[in-house]
Amino acid sequence: MTDYNGKTAVISGGAEGIGLSIAVALGEQGMNIVLGDIDPAQLALAEETLSKQGVPVLVLEMDVTKPQDWQRVTEQAIERFGKIHMLVNNAGVSGAPGPIEHTKHDDWRWVIDTNLMGVVYGAESVVPLIKQHGEGGWLINVASMAGMMGVPYANAYTATKVAVVGMSESWYAELKKHNIHVSVLCPAFVQTRIHLSHRNRQTQYKDDAPRSERSSGGKNQAQELVENGIPVEIVGKRVVEALNANELYIFTHPSHREITKQRAEAIDAAFARAADSPLLQDIDDQPIFSFE
């Protein structure tokens, strides 16, 4: 069994939802928890929840899109707990689902800055600190099943989640020799407030069009899907279970296995057609390089 006891995890977007579920599960394993989040009111509630459970906790208001916030969070985490062993890059937003021509550039920038650059800033701030103390650790990135498939009408969200899966695979190989284990969490729908991501949308990403003009009205589909998702409490426990097994990919919805299977089969069939192409018969001996 992996030894988490007395070690420290920094969790972005940890004030509620999946981040808080992971915090509770890691707290149960004896970890010190640092929660960074853009929402101070929710942070205060999360602090209360964890403190009641006897978990050593530090909550810090931050915006993951700002590298200087990461700098402050890591400094304060180390000041309080001495070392950081784990980063959970969890903060994320749903964006503004819709057809390609309706997705505003502000929507794209908001989603990319939060879901992609937030993960980059987190990793570049924390990974060197884990390398420095030499005890090893974990980097856990929260992607989505959207990272495993192209989701229609969710172009920006899908783009960032595919990127997070790709970066995780890259970092998994890169950080192995430093004894830093990388995992990427890929849930389908989970009962959180992700469909209400606009509640925390920063002013610099707000365009002029009122939100109601862009939604289809009524109870939106995303809300329905999220409400019918799995209970959020399971997710944190599942993450611990998968970390104990040193998993790279962490799945939470076994029914979605078919999606990755079909994708792999479609890619393999396309390769088979390429292999049969008369154009490519003479260039089938290109070496496959490895950066190990």
Ligand X SMILES: NC(=O)c1ccc[n+]([C@@H]2O[C@H](COP(=O)([O-])OP(=O)(O)OC[C@H]3O[C@@H](n4cnc5c(N)ncnc54)[C@H](O)[C@@H]3O)[C@@H](O)[C@H]2O)c1
Nearer to ligand X, 112 or 136 (CB): 112
10 neighbors 84 (Cβ within 8 angstroms): yes
Structure tokens at 175: 């950080």
123 neighbors 171 (Cβ within 8 angstroms): yes
Residue ranges in 83-102 that form contacts with ligand X under rule CB under 6 A = 90-93
Residue 53 CA from chain centroid, whole number: 25
Q: DSSP secondary structure string, 180-228?
A: EEEEEEE-S-BSSSGGGGGGG--GGG--SS-HHHHS-SSS-HHHHHHHT
Of the residues 4, 121, 153, 157, which is catalytic? Answer: 157
Which of these ranges, 121-129, 173-181, 193-201, 277-285, lies near ligand X under the rule CB under 6 A? 193-201
Q: Which residues of 222-241 are buried (b: 16+ CB within 10 A; e: fewer)?
A: beeebeebeebebbbebbbe
Residue 52's Cβ-count burial label (10 Å; 0-12, 13-18, 19+) is exposed
Among 34, 58, 62, 182, binds ligand X (CB under 6 A): 62
Known catalytic membership, residue 157: yes
164 neighbors 228 (Cβ within 8 angstroms): no
Helices then strands, counting H and E runs in the chain, come out as 10, 7
The answer to the question of residue 103 lying near ligand X (CB under 6 A) is no
The answer to the question of residue 175 lying near ligand X (CB under 6 A) is no
Among 37, 88, 122, 175, binds ligand X (CB under 6 A): 37
Which of these ranges, 1-9, 50-58, 123-131, 182-190, lies near ligand X under the rule CB under 6 A? 182-190
Nearer to ligand X, 131 or 247 (CB): 247
Among 13, 97, 137, 236, binds ligand X (CB under 6 A): 13
The answer to the question of residue 189 lying near ligand X (CB under 6 A) is yes
Using DSSP's 3-state secondary structure scheme, residue 36 falls into strand
Is the C-alpha dihedral spanning 94, 97, 100, 101 positive or negative? negative
Nearer to ligand X, 8 or 192 (CB): 192
Rounded CA-CA distance 252/188 in Å is 7
Kindly give the pairing relationship between strand 137-142 and strand 86-89.
parallel
The answer to the question of residue 260 lying near ligand X (CB under 6 A) is no
Which of these ranges, 76-84, 124-132, 189-197, 272-280, lies near ligand X under the rule CB under 6 A? 189-197
Residue 174 CA from chain centroid, whole number: 19
Nearer to ligand X, 4 or 113 (CB): 113
Nearer to ligand X, 97 or 187 (CB): 187
Residue ranges in 196-215 that form contacts with ligand X under rule CB under 6 A = 197, 200
Nearer to ligand X, 95 or 137 (CB): 95
Residue ranges in 112-141 that form contacts with ligand X under rule CB under 6 A = 114
The answer to the question of residue 16 lying near ligand X (CB under 6 A) is yes
Given the rule CB under 6 A, which residues bind ligand X? 12-13, 15-19, 37-39, 42, 62-65, 90-93, 114, 142, 144, 187, 189-190, 192-194, 197, 200, 226, 229
Active site residues: 157
